[in-house]
RNA sequence: GCCCUUGUAGCUCAAUGGAUAGAGCAUCUCCCUUCUAAGGAGGAGAUAUAAGUUCGAUUCUUAUCAAGGGCACCA
């Protein structure tokens, strides 16, 4: 990584510059000294005498209020290009996370509920973050914290018993749809006759007590749900670690039997207090956050109890350095309470627990709600994405799928995840400009150029004659090269900040520069042909590597 | 009422204290007799308001206004 090599020599931080008038890297150390300009002059004298630095940089200048700008040597930049072409898939990775383990929890749909565009965000972002950590040397375990337990199963089972037909549900192409219809019906009926709520509660109680029939129907709901989930995950090309239920993920139910020990530990550590009406809660020092309920007044447990049990299990079994929850940002306060509790318990330190929240996808009119039945199903989204990709004129089914999914994922990853998205088809399935297909197209273009070059370059040219160090690079070539070599830094930053969008910005910038270059200059033929082809190779490789980290496939041809 | 997040161009977003605030869509003008036009070049167009900190603020602080979310027996 050029940036860190330079920083190591200098002993202070530098930043890649956007504008090439200010060199390749720039430092603002002098600006914090007074007077900055003078400090910079003194520093410059020192730097000019630094042998090691001079092997690296070509020119150092002071500019503006006292920035020190560094121009890297041409052969250092070109050397990096060679590295890209040689290292291939490995290029861009680093080992800052070497020896460390992260558990990334994402997607986490609820059983018997629709897999909506909301879960889609968690799935896409979580997968990309896990990929980024892997690229930074972390060992990553991917978990799907399924919502497969809770009082809603009482309602679900009640509804199946009252109005459902198991055979028909099983035969259905999308069993979840049937289950949701029953769930919605339950709520409609309950408005008319609230007493059925008691029936639902009774079924959930049976389920908790291990009743055979309740258990059977509950398991059915899970299997029926996975008919849909498996389809979605395979289409999205997302998966979870085998360690967790063979890739299904450890659902909440898995921790049902492990909640007692958590309650014991909380009690032993004197963190549990009885609230006004008899429930047990964790109160936080100085009322930093509102109290977190652990046990209801009737003795039943809650989401928080299960989450704590989950993290205790993770800690004892795997002892991770980092646990990430990719869950909607409406749960921000809840996760702060959980993390604070885990800190009070002495389980984890602040920086070991991270909530990556994504904003809601909502309608102009308001939130989506399963109960009210106004949700956008994943199935709908995938179909719309496919039909839009098809309209772009491709005939291969595989290509249509890659483009559709690429568009969908990129549109989610390119923005800062925490803001809400107002649902709009054109918005979530954008396929032009700053989009997935644009990047895929650029890769396909580099492939095309390279294969064309291979077929026309038989008139033996003597490559050894060519010395890039002495040839003149035009602004576009230099611009592409300068951007290209920053890839490893971008991965490191994106991974450190859990921000795939930084990688998106970078890839788009690179693709734009390359396309500008492509349109302005002939690549095959003319001056510096070998260099231009190497550059093309480098761009293709970096885009491919970057897109892979975003979970986006790159078609050979488009 | 309290807490969190967000206000950047007509619209959707970028810029994690730095130099001339970047893009896409829409709009206007060009570029397929050139290796992929899902593309490229160029116009026009923006930091909610007001104070403060700083050599320097879209970025930090405070207040105001606006939008969204959360706040004990849902998840």
Strand B nucleotides in reach of protein CB atoms, 7 A cut-off: 3-6, 12-16, 18-20, 23-25, 31, 34-41, 55-56, 68-75
- Closest residue to B54 by CA to C1' distance? A32
Say which residue the tokens 């979870």 belong to. Answer: A240
Predicted confidence at residue A471, as pLDDT, reads 63
- Does the C-beta of A503 come within 7 A of strand B? no
Summarize the confidence of residues A113-128 as an average pLDDT.
92
Tell me the CA–C1' distance in angstroms for A107 and B21.
35
In this prediction, residue A300 has a pLDDT band, given cuts at 50, 70 and 90, of: confident
Predicted confidence at residue A473, as pLDDT, reads 79
Strand B, CB < 7 A, residues 304-333 of A? 329-333
Nucleotide nearest to A276 (CA to C1'): B72
Predicted confidence at residue A373, as pLDDT, reads 67
pLDDT digits (tens, 9 = 90+) for A506-518: 999 999 999 999 9
Count the Cβ atoms, other than its own, within 10 Å of residue A96. 15
Nucleotide nearest to A63 (CA to C1'): B19
Nucleotide nearest to A433 (CA to C1'): B24
Which DSSP helix (H) or strand (E) runs through A282? strand A280-282
Tell me the CA–C1' distance in angstroms for A428 and B46.
24
Tell me the CA–C1' distance in angstroms for A191 and B8.
46
Look at residues A556, A496, A507, A544 and name the one whose alpha carbon lies nearest to residue A87: A544
Per-residue pLDDT at A464 exceeds 60: no
pLDDT digits (tens, 9 = 90+) for A57-89: 999 999 988 999 999 998 899 888 989 989 999
CB A238 within 8 A of CB A246: no
pLDDT digits (tens, 9 = 90+) for A209-242: 889 999 999 999 999 999 999 999 999 999 999 9
pLDDT digits (tens, 9 = 90+) for A125-147: 999 999 999 999 999 999 999 99
Going A465 to A469 to A470 to A476, the CA torsion angle's sign is positive
Strand B, CB < 7 A, residues 363-402 of A? 366-367, 389, 392-394, 399
Summarize the confidence of residues A423-437 as an average pLDDT.
90
- Closest residue to B11 by CA to C1' distance? A427
C-alpha of A464 from chain center = 44
Helices (H) and strands (E) in chain A, counts: 21, 13
Tell me the CA–C1' distance in angstroms for A244 and B55.
55
Tokens read off for A330: 């409406």
Summarize the confidence of residues A155-173 as an average pLDDT.
93
Going A308 to A313 to A316 to A319, the CA torsion angle's sign is negative
pTM: 0.94
- Does the C-beta of A275 come within 7 A of strand B? yes
Predicted confidence at residue A467, as pLDDT, reads 59
Rounded alpha-carbon distances, angstroms, from residue A496 to A104, A129, A351: 14, 10, 12
- Does the C-beta of A418 come within 7 A of strand B? yes
pLDDT digits (tens, 9 = 90+) for A243-262: 999 999 999 999 989 999 99
Per-residue pLDDT at A469 exceeds 70: no
Strand B, CB < 7 A, residues 50-69 of A? 63-65, 67, 69
What rounded mean pLDDT belongs to chain A? 91
Percent with pLDDT over 70 in chain A = 96
Tell me the CA–C1' distance in angstroms for A365 and B64.
27
Predicted confidence at residue A184, as pLDDT, reads 86
- Does the C-beta of A512 come within 7 A of strand B? yes
């Amino acid at each position: 990584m050029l940036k860190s090599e330079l920083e190591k020599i200098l002993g202070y931080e530098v930043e890649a510059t956007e504008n090439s008038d200010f060199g390749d890297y720039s430092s603002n150390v002098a600006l914090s000294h007074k007077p900055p300009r003078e400090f910079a002059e003194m520093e410059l004298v020192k730097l000019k005498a630094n042998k090691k630095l001079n092997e690296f940089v070509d020119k150092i200048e002071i500019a503006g209020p006292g920035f020190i700008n560094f121009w890297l040597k041409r052969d250092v930049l070109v050397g990096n290009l060679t590295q890209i072409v040689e290292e291939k898939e490995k290029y861009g990775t680093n080992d800052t996370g070497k020896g460390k383990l992260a558990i990334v929890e994402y997607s986490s749909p609820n059983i018997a509920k629709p897999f909506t565009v909301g879960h889609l965000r968690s799935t896409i972002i979580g997968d990309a973050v896990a990929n980024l950590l892997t690229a930074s040397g972390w060992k990553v375990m991917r978990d799907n914290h399924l919502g497969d337990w809770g009082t809603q199963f009482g309602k679900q089972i009640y509804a199946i018993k009252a109005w459902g037909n198991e055979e028909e549900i099983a035969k259905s192409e999308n069993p979840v749809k049937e289950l949701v219809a029953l769930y919605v019906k339950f709520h409609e009926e309950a408005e008319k006759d609230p007493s059925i709520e008691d029936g639902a509660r009774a079924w959930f109680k049976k389920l908790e007590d291990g009743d055979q029939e309740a258990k059977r129907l509950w398991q059915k709901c899970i299997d029926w749900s996975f008919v849909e989930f498996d389809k979605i995950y395979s289409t999205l090309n997302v998966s979870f670690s085998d360690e967790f239920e063979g890739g299904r993920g450890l659902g909440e139910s898995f921790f049902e039997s492990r909640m007692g020990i958590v309650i014991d530990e909380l009690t032993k550590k004197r963190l549990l207090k009885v609230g006004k009406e008899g429930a047990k809660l964790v109160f936080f020092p100085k009322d930093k956050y509102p109290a977190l309920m652990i046990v209801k007044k009737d003795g039943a447990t809650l989401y928080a109890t299960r989450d704590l049990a989950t993290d205790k299990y993770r800690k004892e079994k795997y002892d991770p350095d980092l646990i990430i929850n990719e869950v909607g940002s409406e749960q921000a306060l809840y996760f702060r309470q959980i993390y604070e509790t885990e800190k009070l318990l002495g389980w984890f330190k602040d920086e070991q627990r991270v909530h990556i929240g994504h904003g809601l996808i909502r309608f102009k009119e308001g939130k989506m709600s399963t109960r009210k039945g106004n949700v956008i199903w994943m199935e709908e989204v995938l179909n719309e994405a496919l039909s839009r990709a098809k309209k772009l004129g491709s005939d291969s089914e595989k290509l249509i799928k890659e483009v559709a999914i690429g568009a969908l994922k990129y549109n989610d990853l390119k923005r800062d995840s925490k803001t809400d998205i107002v649902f709009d088809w054109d918005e979530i399935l954008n396929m032009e400009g700053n989009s997935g297909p644009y990047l895929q197209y650029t890769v396909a273009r580099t492939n095309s150029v390279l294969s064309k070059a291979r077929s026309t370059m038989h008139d033996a040219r003597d490559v050894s004659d060519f010395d890039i160090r002495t040839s003149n690079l035009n602004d576009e070539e230099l611009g592409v090269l300068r951007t290209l070599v920053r890839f490893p830094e971008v991965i490191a930053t994106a991974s450190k900040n859990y921000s795939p969008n930084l990688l998106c910005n970078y890839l788009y910038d690179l693709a734009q520069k390359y396309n500008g270059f492509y349109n302005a200059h002939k690549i095959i033929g003319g001056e510096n042909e070998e260099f231009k082809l190497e550059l093309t190779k480098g761009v293709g490789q970096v885009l491919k590597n970057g897109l892979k980290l975003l979970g986006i496939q790159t078609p050979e041809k488009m």
